[in-house]
Copies of this chain bind each other. A is one copy, B any other.
Amino acid sequence: MHFTGGSFQPRGETACVKIVQVTRLDVRYAETDQMGVVHHSHFPVYFEVGRSEFFQQYLCHYAELERQGLRAPVIEVSYRLHSGARYGDVLVLQTRPEWLRGLRIEMSYRMTRNQSEGELIATGFTRHALLGPDLRPARKERLGGLYQRVQEVFGDGESG
């Protein structure tokens, strides 16, 4: 698991810009367990919130992607917990695109306490398949400009 980030060529520019979407989350009481920390099953949900904001910021709202017939279901999840998250904490989540390979993408996550340079709470990644409206692999040619945009955001797979 690494967090070097993917290279991103903003439209019309040549400099590499590392994309990172920063999301702030308040721990919900309902997310704690009897050990007094956030139950580990909530981290995939947190990651999804960060991913959703990332999509909205750099592609379009995932609800709109679904309406257009594209889906990116999770096919793999992996994360490590470094320190317990507690009710009252503000969780700062950094979400990054890692790579695009054919019709698969990887995104990575880094969560810290209260600020981006705060204590490390969790790191992880998710992998997704790009599917069409029939939940079968999407056809690149049908995705049209959208696939090109995904390529711009995720890089061309060299960075993976």
* A87 lies within 8 A of chain B by Cβ: yes
Chain A contact residues: helix, strand, loop or mixed: mixed
A35 to chain B, nearest CB (A): 6
CB nearest to A51 among chain B residues: B29
Give the distance to chain B from A32, nearest Cβ to Cβ, in Å: 4
Interface stretch of the complex, out of A5-13, A74-82, A109-117 = A74-82
Q: Which of A61, A62, A76 has the most CB of B within 10 A?
A: A76
A42 at the interface (CB under 8 A from B): yes
Within 8 A of B (CB), among A21-50: 26, 28-30, 32-37, 39-45, 48-49
Contacts of A30 in B (CB 8 A): 33, 39, 41, 44-45, 48
Chain B residues in 8 Å Cβ range of A79: 76-78
Q: Are the C-beta atoms of B81 and A76 separated by less than 8 Å?
A: yes
Q: How far is the CB of A52 from chain B (nearest CB, A)?
A: 7
Q: Within the complex, what minimum Cβ distance (angstroms) separates A73 from chain B?
A: 6
| A88 beta carbon closer than 8 Å to chain B | yes
Chain B residues with Cβ under 8 A from A78's Cβ?
76-79
User: A49 and B28: CB pair below 8 A?
Assistant: yes
Q: Are A41 and B45 in touch, CB under 8 angstroms?
A: yes
What are 6 A-to-B residue pairs whose CB atoms are below 8 Å?
A: A26-B49, A29-B39, A30-B33, A43-B77, A76-B80, A77-B77
A-B complex: 4 closest residue pairs judged by Cβ atoms: A63-B88, A32-B34, A78-B78, A41-B44
